[in-house]
Structure 1
Amino acid sequence: MSKEIKNQGTGVGAKRAAPRPYVMPETTSVPMVNDLLEPYEVYFKSPLAKLGAIKQGLHADAITDLLQVTGATQIDIARWLDITEPTLRKHIQGSRELNRGLSEHIIQLFELFDKGLDTFGSLDEFKSWLKNYNPGIDAIPFELLDTLTGISIVLNQLIRIDYGVLA
């Protein structure tokens, strides 16, 4: 990646700060995560089921499940979903279905964490990997989870790890 692209948005000649690992709470056990992911697994296997769920909208409980699976804070989840914390809390307390954009983003995050668990065999190892700079994608994977394209980049890197293609 050229220096011009790396410095884009930081001003001409600005130096890029050294990447710092993100510290994420480690509170969720694998059996509990598998139980939380189980209702969403049908969406990972069937694009039509995924599309139907997105169009219908996930129930607001999906955000609570996402918080538990990822171990991320409400601040992180709000940032990933591009909503404010008060809006996130309203969704958590509400009983309405989520809009299509939120539903799609949440399903993609569940799919990523399911794949990460499969790739690393441990949620703690996957979370550790997410927090650290990855030269294969020239970023800290955790910081890419705020867009569907970023999630796709991280997912593709997990597939590369599965096949031993790291360069």
Structure 2
Amino acid sequence: MAKAMKASSTTHTKMPPVASIKESGEGALPATDVSRIQQAFQDIDLRNNYQLVTAALSGVYADTFIKFVDLANISRNELAAAMNISTKTIKNKLADKEPLDPNQGEHLLKIISLFELGEKIFGGLEPFKRWLEKPFFGKPQKPEDFLKTTGGVELIMDELKRLAYGDVI
């Protein structure tokens, strides 16, 4: 992973800071400028689609998958199902030290990016994960239903950004 995800020397425009939607209860953390996910994956700008795609094309290794499930406290089966990949494939890629295919790598990086944004907006991963399990405002689907495609991940990200800026539709 380190080979494929080196920091770029290009200048990037950053998204303006988002408001924190703090949810009371266990797992809620105070919002900070740097999330735990952002710290763990600091070798790539998670909000820069160009960097995500070029990293995926260069090769994202299965250890990134393991690092993320451990950090986000989600099961390997859950993440594998969201990525349309088997846990056996992940195990084989780990053992053989082979990268995920570019589509799988991009999907993983976009999910990581989504969780990083969710952690910032909700003030912690647990409140964000609870939000993923609840239906969208006025819609029957839950955000987690859309994790299976990169377009779905982007749709959830757009919804999060609207929520952060108070534009709930």
Q: 1:55 to 1:68 in 2, by over 3 A?
A: same
Q: Is the CA contact (8 Å cut-off) linking 1:33 and 1:68 kept in structure 2?
A: no
Q: Is the CA contact (8 Å cut-off) linking 2:62 and 2:90 kept in structure 1?
A: no
Look up the match of 2:5: none
3-state SS of 1:38 partner: coil
3-state SS of 1:39 partner: coil
Counterparts of 2:139 and 2:98, CA distance in 1 = 37
Look up the match of 2:149: 147
3-state SS of 2:41 partner: helix
Look up the match of 2:102: 100
Give runs of aligned pairs for residues 13-24 of structure 1, distance below 5 A. Answer: none
Q: Is the CA contact (8 Å cut-off) linking 1:37 and 1:114 kept in structure 2?
A: no
Q: 1:32 to 1:158 in 2, by over 3 A?
A: closer
Once the two structures are TM-superposed, the CA of residue 130 in structure 1 deviates from its matched residue by 1.0
Identity %: 22
Matched AA of 1:44 = R
Look up the match of 1:39: 43
Tell me the number of residue pairs that the alignment of Structure 1 and Structure 2 aligns: 139
Q: Is the CA contact (8 Å cut-off) linking 2:38 and 2:46 kept in structure 1?
A: no
Counterparts of 1:63 and 1:107, CA distance in 2 = 9
Counterparts of 2:144 and 2:71, CA distance in 1 = 14
Counterparts of 2:69 and 2:96, CA distance in 1 = 16
Give runs of aligned pairs for residues 130-145 of structure 1, distance below 5 A. Answer: 130-145=132-147
Normalized per residue, the structure richer in helix is 1
- Is there any run of 5+ residues in structure 2 with no aligned partner, and where? 1-25
Q: 1:61 to 1:136 in 2, by over 3 A?
A: farther
Counterparts of 2:168 and 2:138, CA distance in 1 = 7
Across the aligned residues of Structure 1 and Structure 2, the Cα RMSD in angstroms comes to 2.4
Look up the match of 2:55: 53
- Is there any run of 5+ residues in structure 1 with no aligned partner, and where? 1-25
Once the two structures are TM-superposed, the CA of residue 87 in structure 1 deviates from its matched residue by 1.3
Q: 1:34 to 1:44 in 2, by over 3 A?
A: closer
Q: Is the CA contact (8 Å cut-off) linking 1:130 and 1:141 kept in structure 2?
A: yes
Counterparts of 1:71 and 1:83, CA distance in 2 = 19
Counterparts of 1:91 and 1:32, CA distance in 2 = 26
